[in-house]
Each structure stands twice: as structure tokens, then as C-alpha cells.
Chains A and B, each alone.
Chain A
């Protein structure tokens, strides 16, 4: 297995997370240890070509029929910010 150092800045960017000062101190070493530990997976002789699938009965399709679903009002009730029937978010594009 690859034995490379984890680029935490890159990974945290991908995960949409920012690290605190304290996390910056402790996380790199912890993550290295965990990744090193899971690295032992490469030692098991695996002949499997197949990957695991959790369900082995055939999935059924839904009938195409109209049914009651969550009313819009209730779906919107938990939104942090609303404007009429819409969820409101900060602006998408950064203005100068």
C-alpha cells in the first residue's frame, strides 16, 4: 500500500472543513497513525475480484403514482433563513 503523507490542507478543503490551531497540532500525527494502522489491509491475501454488495435481494421499483408527501410549509419550517416559499442563502458569487 502507498505510504504517503496525508496532505491535510488539501483533504480538509475537499471536506469543506477548516482546522483550528489545536487541530492543526494534534491531527496530523493522529491521522498518520490511523492511516498507517489501516494500511495493514494490504497484508491480507485477497483473491476477491468482486467487491461487497450489502443487499442480495432484487431491489423493487416504486409504482409510478401520486402520493402525499411532506407539505412545503413543513419542509421549510426548519430552514435557517427563508424568503416566502424559498430557502434563503448568502450570495453565491463573491463581489468586489
Chain B
């Protein structure tokens, strides 16, 4: 078995026990990337020299960290000291951050190796990675299709064996949807669980950093490392963080699962509905109690999101003015310099959202749009609070359809509908995990979303672990099963 096929937990074990050197793993991944990434284009920037240097240091250490030798890719909207960070935007094309995001510091403190920075929709605005200011990324399962977005580069890297795991960010589904499209496990943690210090802000009340991995246990391990209070992020929670990996194998006591009637929803592909129903039958077969939920405000989550997120973005992206860092357009006069810098530096979708947000916050419209959306958001939260009195988890498909073709979605609203099942979790601040749940008729991966109560990540992992075990899927196209060991090809 090749080293790059090892799952994260297994990889760390062999490095810690001295069976394999971190340097060998990094070299194998570099070789893999050099071969595969010309086509997949998961990465915007490689950091091979730095990775090899780190690996040599780790090999010399006696006491190796909890992520020793783990080759990890980082979405390029998370800042890395000394590695260019672009947000896939021309406006930050040559930005070289002077500091690390807290999550990067935490990964490196446990001897993970950062192998490169991954492609995304510009400033994380999109669902296909086609909005990258540089180039699109391709789905390793079918190179004519998108990997999802906005963390599409991170998902493609992990699914294509170009990294063992990756970090993404999720503002409306940007970790979970690409995880589903690429056959991976992806977590959007509870708002406040993971520090956002060093995550380039898109919509600050919704953004969370989350991991993408090949199995639930790999995802649980990374989450344990990156979670926890950070004095540099005032929204980070002071609650103690459990060891999710150690807890993931402990069976849950009696619990109840809430399900939706998805067959009546327009825009949800039939094969997605079928897969969802198959999974529910499997769960019923395990003797788990299920309850149908009616969530009337759910329908309003998407339009609510498309008022809140662009409004916050229009404010956050005001900082790109060509003064302190990033691209500056030539001009002899200051206000004209601002205008030209922003006009030339931002891509079309980013401009569209800035304009939409500026409109929603502008005098005369604020009450009708932003203030209204903020109240709808509260109604969505209240509905979740009520639902979680009756059930412990809510299950939905992660996406309305499997990975679509590059160039297939030209109309902005049809792209926005990708987030149909995922945005509500961001609006309510609750955690959401996507696990592979089967395949479409074209053998494209499908995902199941598990939503839980705020800060109930440990329970989410336990339940996801149970699902993963019972679904017994090969979760990537190389035939590696979810526990990191090769299964017989069938």
C-alpha cells in the first residue's frame, strides 16, 4: 500500500512509531502532486521546500506531535506566514502575510506539514470554484465536473490523494458541499468553536473554519487540534474542547433523529431523494427512533442568507482599497485610486455581492432587507431550538444534486440554490457534518448532512462514525475505505 493512501490517523501512527519518516511521506505527496495537479489544479501555491524542511525537523524530534507527518492543505483564504495568500483574488495576488492564522499555528505545533494553499471561489463566494480569479479546479472523480465550492481546491486535494486532509472555510456550505461532491467527510463547526483569527473575513457572523478528511476519525482528530478558545478572536468560545477522536468510538446512548420530507422539494434531484430514503431505511434498521420534522422557516433560509452574507461582505471587503497591502491601480488622485483598484481587483461575483450588500444596507432599504433578514434569522434559530427539544440530530441530503459540469450553471440564482440544505446551520450557528452516503447513477459521490445542537460536535462525530460504519462505503475513487485500509476491489 502506498503512503499517500494512508488515512490521517494511521499516517500519524506510523510516523510516531518510527515505521516511516515524515520526509518519505512528504516526498511521496510531492511526487503525487507533480503528477496529478496539472490536471486537477487543486492548489494555487505549493510550499514544498518549507514542507520538506519541516519534515526533516519532525524526523529528528523525539517527542512527536499529535499530527506528526500529516500532509495538510490549507484553503487560500487562511493566512500563512511566508506563504502567499490570495483568496483567489487578483486584489491579493501578491499578498505575503506577516503572520499565521491561529489554526495554522495549532496544526504546526502538533507537527503537521503544510504542503500548499488551495484554490477557492474568490473570497469564498461561490459553490464550484469556477469563480476563482486564477483558474477552475476539477473534481478528481470526474474531471469534467466541479469539485464544489468554495473550498473546492481543498476537497479536490484530499480526494485526489494530494493531501491527507485539508482546512476549508464554511460561510453557507463551503466545506460541506465540496466534501459531498468529492466523497469526503467535512465539518462546519459550531460558530465560536474554532478561532477565525487569520481567516480572511467574508461574512463574520457566519464564517467558520472546518476540516475536510477521508474519514470521520480523521475529521475528529483535526477538529480536536484546531478547536478551542483563542484570545485573538473575541467570538471564540471559552468552553473546554473534548478529545473528539477518543470519544468518537463510544456508542451514543438512546437518541432520536429528525428527518425531512425531501421528496416534495423542487430542485432536489431524484437520485438524491432516493439515496436519502435508502439511508433512512438503514437507520431505521438499526432501531434508531426517527421523527418527521416540519421546519417552515427553512424555506426562507437561502434568501435570508443572500441578504445577510452580502451585507457583511460589502462591509468586510471595504478594506481592499490599495493603500496598505494588495493590488493598487495607478492613479494621480486618492479617491480615483480606490475606485480603480477595486474595479480592477475584484471579479464579477464578488462585485455582484458587494453591490447587493451595499443595496441591502443603504438608506431607505435597510429595514426592508437587512433588518427583516435579521429577524427571519432569529426565527430560524428558534425553530432549530424547538426541533432539538424533540430530536438530537437532523438529517438532510448535503446537496440537491451531485457534482455538476464545469460551466453548467451560468445564472447566479441556480448556483445559490446549491446551498439549499447547508445555509440554515450557518444562520443558526449550529454544527453540520457531511458524510459520504452513496453514489449517483453516474457513480458520483453523494453526501448526507448531520446537524446537531451547538457545541455538540462530539455527539455528531459519534453518530457520523456509526453511519460511516454501517454505510460501509469506499469513500474515494482509489478504493480506500473509510478507515484508511484498502478494501478488495469489487
Residues on A lying within 8 angstroms of B by beta carbon are: 1-2, 6, 8, 10-12, 14-20, 23, 27, 30-31, 33-35, 37-44, 46-52, 54-55, 57, 59-60, 62, 70, 74-75, 77-81, 87, 89-92, 94
Are the CB atoms of B334 and A44 closer together than 8 Å? no
Whether B99 pairs with A70 at a CB distance below 8 angstroms is yes
Using a CB–CB cutoff of 8 Å, the interface residues on chain B facing chain A are 95-96, 98-99, 191-192, 205-206, 231, 234-235, 237-239, 296-297, 300, 303-304, 306-307, 314, 318, 321-328, 331-334, 336-340, 342-343, 346, 348, 351-352, 354-356, 358-359, 362, 365, 368-369, 371-379, 381-382, 411-413, 427, 429
Known: A89-B334, A90-B332, A90-B334. A77 touches B98 (CB 8 A): yes
List the B side residues contacting A80 at CB < 8 Å: 322-323, 325-328
- Of B191, B322, B326, B333, the contact of A55 (CB 8 Å cutoff): B191
Contact status B333-A91, CB under 8 Å: yes
Q: DSSP class of A's interface residues: helix, strand, loop or mixed?
A: loop
Number of A-B contacts (CB under 8 A): 167
B348 touches which of A16, A23, A34, A87 (Cβ 8 Å): A23
CA distance A9 to B340 in the complex (A): 16
CA distance A74 to B82 in the complex (A): 11
Query: Is the CB–CB distance between A17 and B351 below 8 Å?
Result: yes
Give A33's nearest chain B residue, CB to CB. Answer: B413
Q: Interface residues of B: mostly helix, strand, loop or mixed?
A: helix
Out of B237, B354, B378, name the residue touching A52 (CB < 8 Å): B378
| Of A2, A48, A54, the contact of B235 (CB 8 Å cutoff) | A54
Q: Are B303 and A15 in contact (CB under 8 A)?
A: no
Q: Is the CB of B348 within 8 A of A81?
A: no
Q: Which residue of A lies closest to B454 (CB)?
A: A56
Which residues of A are found within 8 Å of B340, using beta-carbon distances? 18
Which of A11, A40, A50 has the most C-beta atoms of chain B within 10 angstroms of its own C-beta?
Answer: A11
Contacts of B99 in A (CB 8 A): 70
CA distance A62 to B96 in the complex (A): 28
Closest-CB distance, A28 to chain B (whole angstroms): 10
| Shortest Cβ gap from B93 to chain A (Å) | 12
Q: List 7 A-B contacts (CB under 8 A).
A: A20-B343, A23-B348, A31-B356, A34-B412, A46-B379, A52-B375, A55-B191
Q: How far is the CA of A37 from the CA of B412 in the complex (A)?
A: 11
Given A48-B375, A48-B378, decide whether A14 and B362 contact each other with a Cβ distance below 8 A: yes
Tell me the complex Cα distance, A27–B352, Å. Answer: 8
Q: Name the one of A6, A20, A62 contacting B231, with C-beta atoms under 8 angstroms.
A: A62
Given contacts A16-B342, A18-B343, contact A48 B332 (CB under 8 A): no
Cα separation A72 to B331 with both chains bound (whole Å): 26
Give Cα A68–Cα B205 distance, bound, in whole angstroms: 28
Q: Is the CB of A27 within 8 A of B300?
A: no
Q: A34-B413, A51-B371, A81-B328 are in contact. List 8 more A-B contacts (CB 8 A).
A: A14-B362, A31-B352, A34-B356, A54-B235, A70-B99, A78-B96, A80-B325, A80-B328
